[in-house]
Amino acid sequence: MLPRKPRAAWTAREKRRAQALYRKGKLLPAGAAMVDRAKRNGRWYTTGTE
């Protein structure tokens, strides 16, 4: 995953990539923490542009 700006919305492409890495067991702890944080603060559920 690339570094993210704190208030950036997650694009559909980024979400698919994170989910694919998770399913393959390749999502690193730092990436999992970013996803968890995005889900807690609502950024995961906002629509970003691709």
- Is 30 domain-assigned? yes
Instruction: Give domain status of residue 20, yes or no.
Output: yes
Please indicate, yes or no, if residue 4 is contained in any of the structural domains.
no
Which residues, other chains included, contact 26 with Cβ-Cβ below 8 Å and sequence gap of 6+? none
Q: Taking residues 4-25, what's their average pLDDT?
A: 88
pLDDT tier at 50, thresholds 50, 70, 90: very low
What band does 10 get if pLDDT is binned at 50, 70 and 90? confident
Q: Judge whether 31 lies within some domain.
A: yes
Supply the pLDDT for residue 48.
Answer: 59
Residue 28 lies in a domain: yes
- Considering only CA atoms, give the Rg of the chain: 10
Stated pTM of the model: 0.76
Domain hosting 21: range is 12-40
For residue 7, tell me if it sits in a domain: no
The answer to the question of residue 21 being in a domain is yes
* 13 in Cβ contact with 49 (< 8 Å): no
Helices (H), the chain: 12-23, 29-41
- Say which residues have a Cβ less than 8 Å from residue 42's Cβ, sequence separation at least 6: none
**33, part of any domain:** yes
Domain count, the chain: 1
With H, G, I as helix, E, B as strand and everything else as coil, classify residue 35: helix
